[in-house]
Chain A
Amino acid sequence: MSKKRIFSEMTRRDFLRTTGMVAAGLTAGGIVGTNASKVFAAKKFDGQTLNIFTYAGAWGEMMEKQLKPRFEKETGAKMVIDLGWWDSIPKLKASPPGQPAFDLIMTDATQGYPAIKEGLFQKINMKNVPNVKNFTPEVLNNWVFNENWGVTWPDAAQTGVYNKQHVKNPPKRWSDLLKKDFDNKLGMYNSFYFSLFTFACMKVDKEGKAGTARDEVAKNLDGILQFAKEQKSRVNYWWPTSSDMAFNLLQGTVWTGNIHSVDIYPVIKEGKPVGVFVPDQDRAHFQALWLISKDTKKKELAEAAINIFCSEDFQLAYASGGFPTAAPAVAEKAAKKDAVWALINPHTKAQFKNVGYYPYDAYFKAWDHIVSFWDKEVLRK
């Protein structure tokens, strides 16, 4: 064998060996490098999934389009949104121990208060929710927040609504709904926590005492129940959902009544012939709560979601969707941009001082009595 031939064979062998080693090295380096970059970019909650429950309709859309992207970007975790209405607490109650149906729930006082007392939720570490300081203190001054059970805020406002095509003299105050023109033309929510307060507002306004509806509920509940019973024949439609009320209002089946603000806001923005009125006296909102399930193992992740909800960035998006905001700085901006929003939602210091929820405390003192009277004497002829 000549030197040249041997040298060529060794050179080819060496070449293949060397090429193989370089290729292996590059591949290994690439894998390590990629993983290294992933490790450096990893967020605290990468790979986790947070199951949340929120109300369907406008709320569901808002959480899907605005909260979920912000949450997933900031935490690295996924958010799965379950929609519903009255079914969240029963579903949570029926969950097997240690496997809650949801990690984080949006609910309201009527369902949330008893569920907290039932032991379905755990306390929140408010140090993980620093953005809650954006909310005005008036909306947090309740036992749910003070005892760290959850974060509360005033959501959909009690709103008077009317069909512009049928109503020539638009109502401006609650006692206007008592006019003869609206006999058998009213649409009212079939749930008492809302409509009983509307009747209270009508009653006190009629008596020249606008602004005292909460006091009236606390001191003269039976009087208001009786008033509601007397007015029931004027109600043409007891709506089960806001969407039904908006639908029947546009159809002309009802001409005026009450509705959740967030469900009529898009209808107005679409240019439909609907008007609203929200008297400054006796403003009321339903109290919404974020609560964390007792059995969830993702408490910190749930707290992160609440923190993002309370951020000014999200609250601005929330307000842009027609929702009230409990952050005064955001409310001021939203009011300047949107006159319809400003008409419905609190945005000045004076309005925030008076911002209030439905009188849940008064309701809970006589709940069974109210339910029984409402179902038998008010809803039914």
Chain B
Amino acid sequence: MERVVAFSLRYRKWFFLAPVLVLLVGFFVIPLIWLFRVSFFLNEGASGFGVSSVRFYVPDTFTFNNYIRFFTDTYFLNIMYVTLKIGFITTVTTMVLSYPFAYYIYRAKPFVKGILLASVVIPKLINMLVLFYGLQILLGTNGLLNQFLMKFGIIGSPLSLVHNYFSVVLGKTLLILPYTVLVITAALHGIDRTLVDAAQGLGASKFRAFREVTFPLSLPGTMVGLLITIIWALGAFVSPYLLGNPDLYTLAVEVQRQTFENVNWAMGSTVAFVMLFMIMILVFFYNWFEKKREKTA
């Protein structure tokens, strides 16, 4: 009887995990493996349509040509460079804006804290397309911002604020910022306030207390926020596509173009997995850095 009870307790966790595992394995892992296999199918055309090439892919083939093409063609390397550049600028911008805002929420009185948190969450209730078209109305050549600046003589002719790096980074930052702010805010709220009071009681200034107590203790949560930001920033699609121009198309956009417009599934899968490997490398470095930091701490 005791053995039966021990046995059922041991496997109870699998009983609760089973539905999630079935979903993950069946609808994520297996399709991902199949997609990875597609990236090794043959399709030598720039598109899937050419007279000399095939549509989608050639079944029952295996080749590294798609990956070789990706890493030797300046077209794809340039897209990867643009992806990393937009990802980097967006990450820095988001973190620079998120941390002070999260800290302000942390320090605010309860009523103000509620309003600030709502101001972060409400944009996420709006459809992404509405947000981006709203940005175009705001930033367009004849947009509200240019009209305002010209009306007060601050500028003589309209500024070019859309379909460039500025609008792409701004759009992506607006999308990611709420998540990063919430994660950092949660991390800050996990800090024991008496530690800060104790530091100040021992003579530390407010800034020194922040630098030597609050900030280090908020780092683990901040690093999670940074990781989320990096992953989202590297996967930018709608922002470069609607607010950018072809020079700013990222790997995510190229996946769409290869898969749907060119109907070259082999190349589309290849681009998708290069993007995935890129993010996995960054996550690996993040984990390594975190472990090192924790050891030092």
Contacts and interface: CB of A to CB of B under 8 A. Distances in A.
Interface stretch (A47-55, A85-93, A173-181, A326-334): A85-93
A5 interface: no
Interface in B18-73: 45-53, 55-56
A3 B247 CA distance: 108
Given A253-B141, A253-B163, A371 B56 contact: no
Nearest to B162: A253
A368 to B, nearest CB: 4
Given A115-B55, A365-B51, A380-B246, A236 B163 contact: yes
Interface in B142-161: 142-143
Given A86-B260, A237-B245, A252-B141, A368 B50 contact: yes
A253 B163 CA distance: 10
A367 B75 contact: no
B263 to A, nearest CB: 6
A131 interface: no
B278 interface: no
Interface string A160-201: 000000000000000000000000000000110000000000
B136 interface: yes
Contacts of B46: 367-369, 371-372, 375
A354 interface: no
B246 to A, nearest CB: 4
Contacts of A375: 46, 75, 246
Given A86-B260, A111-B263, A244-B242, A253 B50 contact: no
Contact of B75 (A113, A236, A376): A376
A237 B143 contact: no
A248 B161 CA distance: 13
A143 interface: no
Interface string A347-381: 00000000000000000110111011001100111
B8 to A, nearest CB: 38
A238 B163 CA distance: 9
A242 to B, nearest CB: 14
Nearest to A110: B49
A365 B51 CA distance: 6
B180 interface: no
B246 A114 contact: no
Contacts of B245: 237-238
A368 B52 contact: yes
A86 B265 CA distance: 13
B45 A368 contact: yes
Interface of B: 45-53, 55-56, 75, 78, 133, 136-137, 140-143, 162-163, 241-242, 245-247, 259-263, 265
Given A367-B45, A367-B51, 16 more contacts: A90-B259, A115-B55, A238-B246, A247-B136, A248-B136, A251-B136, A252-B142, A364-B49, A365-B51, A367-B46, A367-B50, A368-B46, A371-B46, A371-B262, A380-B246, A380-B247
State the 6 A-B residue pairs at the shortest beta-carbon distance, nearest first. A252-B142, A368-B50, A86-B260, A251-B140, A379-B246, A372-B46
26 contacts: A89-B263, A93-B56, A117-B55, A118-B56, A191-B261, A237-B245, A238-B245, A240-B241, A247-B133, A248-B136, A251-B141, A251-B142, A252-B140, A252-B142, A253-B141, A364-B51, A365-B51, A367-B45, A367-B46, A367-B47, A367-B49, A371-B50, A375-B46, A375-B246, A379-B246, A381-B247
